[in-house]
Structure 1
Amino acid sequence: MSAQHPAAAVVVEAGGEPWSRVEPLLDRRSQEMADHGVLEVVTANPGVRTAISGWCTRKGRVVEATADRNGSTSFRIRIGSPSLPEVP
């Protein structure tokens, strides 16, 4: 991965699961991340693709990037603020 898009801390491979099953998983995984990092969701379900934007808005999350691959869509979601560089 490039510096612009470092590897996601958590990847959720949702397959064709419906939003009703994906949403609670995203809620739990994003809470476990303590409001920092990137969560990636990969889905083949059109309903999930549509719902992710609204979920991000409600939860204060940001979709950084999307990519289509092999019939699925990958969403990179920022959980909290981007990390600031450490001060020596």
Structure 2
Amino acid sequence: MCAASPAASSDATAPDDSVRAVVDAGGEPWSRILVLLERRRCELPLGSVLELHSANPQVRSSVREWCRLTGSTLLAEEETGDVSAYRIKLPPPPVHGTPTPFPVPKPESP
């Protein structure tokens, strides 16, 4: 799990859907792309948009599943020749006052 970093004050005027980072994965397999996406997800502020470029056609379903699991939104998907580009919006910051899940302690064994 990663800690979210707050947006810089200069980012306050940037449009919500402007791309903050691009991950150019070439033809890498999903296992390698996943590591790259997770690293970027941890580095970027919540609500940021990142773009993934991949020449691996098998990535499409994995990107959709990763978005679902992380609470991210797949904004757009475009194909140009052999390369697909995916615009992904990371989950927004929680609304103030929204409860956050916390771990439930396990009962101790006798």
Aligned to 1:57: 68
Unaligned segments of structure 1, at least 5 residues:
83-88
Change over 3 Å in CA distance of 1:62–1:48 after alignment to 2: same
Q: Give 1 or 2 for the bigger CA radius of gyration.
A: 2
% same residue: 38
Find runs of 4+ consecutive structure 1 residues off by over 6 angstroms.
none
Asked if residue 75 in structure 1 is aligned to residue 86 in structure 2, the reply is yes
TM-score (norm 1): 0.80
| TM-score normalised by structure 2 residue count | 0.65
> Which runs of no fewer than 5 residues in structure 2 stay unpaired?
1-14, 94-110
- Pick 1 or 2: higher relative contact order, CA cutoff 8 A, min separation 6: 1
Q: Distance in 2 between matches of 1:30 and 1:47?
A: 21
Looking at secondary structure, tell me which structure has more strand per residue.
1
For residue 8 of structure 1, what is the amino acid of its counterpart? V
Give RMSD over aligned pairs: 1.9
The answer to whether the 8 Å contact 1:43/1:49 transfers is no
1:47 deviates by 1.9
Distance 2:82 2:16 in 1: 22
- Which amino acid counterpart does residue 57 of structure 2 have in structure 1? P
